[in-house]
Amino acid sequence: MKKILTLVCVSALGGLLTLGGYKLFVEKEHTQIAKNEKTQLPVYVPTSTSNTLLTNTERPDLITAANKTIDAVVHVKNTQINRRPQTWGDIFSNRQIERKQLAGAGSGVIISPDGHIITNNHVIKGAVEISITLNDNKTYLAELVGTDAKNDIALLKIHTEDILPFVTFGDSDATQIGEWVLAVGNPFNLTSTVTAGIISAKSRDLSGGQSFIQTDAAVNPGNSGGALVNINGELVGINTAISSQTGTYVGYSFALPSNIARKIVEDIMEFGDVQNGILGVTGLALNSEAAEELKVDITEGFYVSGIEEKSGADLAGISEGDIIRKLDNVEINKFSDLSGYLKTKSPNDVVNVEVLRGNNIKNISVTLTNKEDLYVEFMDMQLRDIPLKAKQKYPELQKGVMISQNRNPYFYNKVGLREGYVITAINDIKVESIEDINALKAKYNDEDFFKSLNKLEFLDGSLEKKEILFR
């Protein structure tokens, strides 16, 4: 019995010693570790648990838009005259045989029930015959009503007693980035093709002053001149170009906004050509680098560095150093915003210009000037009279026409004509003002004049007299 009691007491004592050691050493260590863990706060990553799948009622109704559009988009074929020898006898006798040949094809959009069709100028350029095939396979010869090569738009007309399906114009200014759109056309001669995408950017400038809608709807050769429509089936753009190193679609396509296209078409119908209303300002779009150089605090807007004499901006009181922030309700963040909106306007239209002058916002009403009153387009150059300020500053600059834009690659790269140079004579004919250029335009078209060009005299940027002989 004593042995049993002794064993129990020893066991109890061992248990007490073990428990005491645990409390003293092990639990204390664990408690310290727990304290260290509390000093490291947990990291939470924001996560949405909502269902992002659209219901059937929320999905865009692309079927309705396609049905409204597909019958109003046509296949445009460009037939040209091919002149070349057909036999060995033709080669030896240097005979050129004329033969009609299909030169290209694209798309077009019927915009009126009586058969007016809008397409790209490059689709029908050089054509001696333009044929239109409707979605029901009926074919017509089209009349060329007019073109605007600068904006790559052409207006055609087919004559039929049928009332044709057509697409109504939408408001391209109201489109938004992320909005669903359809591109309808005839890529690779695959007629009546519909592709879908979203608007991925607006006011995209591809070639100096242009303003395109950028989409990711697939567009390929043959889509040019086709329709870009919103989910209501309204025309918001004319598909015009792709950005590609291969010549086929790689993810980006570009459409001329419908507001610009509609204005061009209305001008061609009413006047026979495009009437351009301009503010009459020169300058640059702001960014961080330009803002730092100009010592201004904002990085968006159009900085006015010059005012054209007798222009609407000049008469309304816009000043050098003003920063244009808005035209009417359209925000101006870059040059293509400015130029794109003005292309929807006509001479004598009044626009409200919001400018930042110093630290003050001013709203100025400007009556747009007819571009032809200030500039003349000739040989892919934009020419103007020498500004009064330049005449006052430099006695040498009293007669001639100043180059404000040069889009002629030959004159720019080979001859070296730059903006600001002054043309003083052409083929030994003195040039004193744009009236002399208008006289040349009335006598020659650009192609005939270029063939007859043999001598050009001008003043370069250092006012040094230069002479170029072409023969």
Q: From the candidates 71, 122, 244, 346, which is the catalytic residue?
A: 122
Q: Is 122 a catalytic residue?
A: yes
Local confidence band at 324 (pLDDT 50, 70, 90 cut-offs) = very high
Among 19-33, 405-419, 423-437, the range scoring the smallest mean pLDDT is 19-33
Question: Three-state SS for 441?
Answer: helix
CA angle 274, 279, 283 (to 5 degrees): 115
Buried b (16+ CB within 10 A) or exposed e, 219-251: bbbbbbbbbbbbbebbbbbbbbbbeeeeeebee
Residue 194 and residue 218: Cα distance in Å, rounded? Answer: 9
* 83-126 pLDDT, tens digit each: 776 666 666 667 776 788 999 999 999 999 999 999 999 999 99
Q: How many CB atoms lie within 10 A of CB 205?
A: 16
Rounded Cα gap, residues 456 and 22, in angstroms: 105
Catalytic residue among 107, 172, 203, 224: 224
424-430: average pLDDT: 92
The residue behind tokens 């200030």 is 374
Q: What is the end-to-end Cα distance of the chain in Å, rounded?
A: 138
Residues recorded for the chain: 471
Residue 152 known to be catalytic? yes
Cα 149 to Cα 116, 121, 154, 305, 408, distances in angstroms: 18, 6, 8, 29, 14
* Cβ atoms of 217 and 237 closer than 8 Å: no
Confidence of residue 247 (pLDDT cuts 50, 70, 90): confident
312 and 366 in contact (C-beta within 8 Å)? yes
Which member of 152, 216, 267, 322 is catalytic? 152
The mean predicted confidence, pLDDT, of the chain is 87
Identify whether the C-beta of residue 143 lies closer than 8 Å to the C-beta of residue 158. yes
pLDDT exceeds 50 at position 436 = yes
Q: Give the C-alpha separation, 67 to 154, whole Å.
A: 25
pLDDT(29) > 50 = no
Residue 224 annotated as catalytic: yes
Q: What is the CA 50 to chain-centroid distance, rounded?
A: 37
Asked whether residue 470 carries a pLDDT value surpassing 50, the answer given is: yes
369-390 per-position pLDDT tens digit: 998 889 998 888 999 999 888 8
pLDDT in tens, 35-50: 444 455 555 666 555 5
pTM of the model: 0.79
> To which H or E segment does residue 452 belong?
helix 446-452
Looking at residue 471, its pLDDT comes to 66
Non-local CB neighbours of 140 within 8 Å, separated by 6+ positions:
115, 131, 132, 134, 158, 159, 160
Confidence of residue 145 (pLDDT cuts 50, 70, 90): very high
Q: For residue 424, give the 3-state DSSP assignment.
A: strand
